Amino acid sequence: MAASGDARAVVAWAKHRSARRPGGCWEWVGMVNRDGYPTTSKGAPYRFVYTATRGPIPTGDHVHHACGNRLCVSPAHLRLATARENIAEMLTRRAYDARLAEADAIYALVLALGDAVPPALRERVARASSV
**Whole-number minimum distance, CB 39 to Zn ion, in Å?**
17
Of the pair 52, 72, the CB lying nearest Zn ion is at 72
Angle at 74 between CA 70 and CA 77, to 5 degrees: 70
**Whole-number minimum distance, CB 75 to Zn ion, in Å?**
10
Of the pair 7, 38, the CB lying nearest Zn ion is at 38
Classify residue 69 as exposed, middle or buried by CB count within 10 Å of its CB (0-12, 13-18, 19+): middle
**Whole-number minimum distance, CB 66 to Zn ion, in Å?**
7
- Nearest to residue 15, comparing CAs of 25, 2, 23? 25
Q: CA dihedral in degrees (67, 70, 73, 76; nearest 10)?
A: 20
Of the pair 86, 129, the CB lying nearest Zn ion is at 86
Of the pair 8, 79, the CB lying nearest Zn ion is at 79
**Whole-number minimum distance, CB 124 to Zn ion, in Å?**
37
**In degrees rounded to 5, what are phi and psi of residue 61?**
-85, 165
| Footprint on this chain of Zn ion (rule: CB under 5 A) | 25, 67, 69, 72, 74, 77
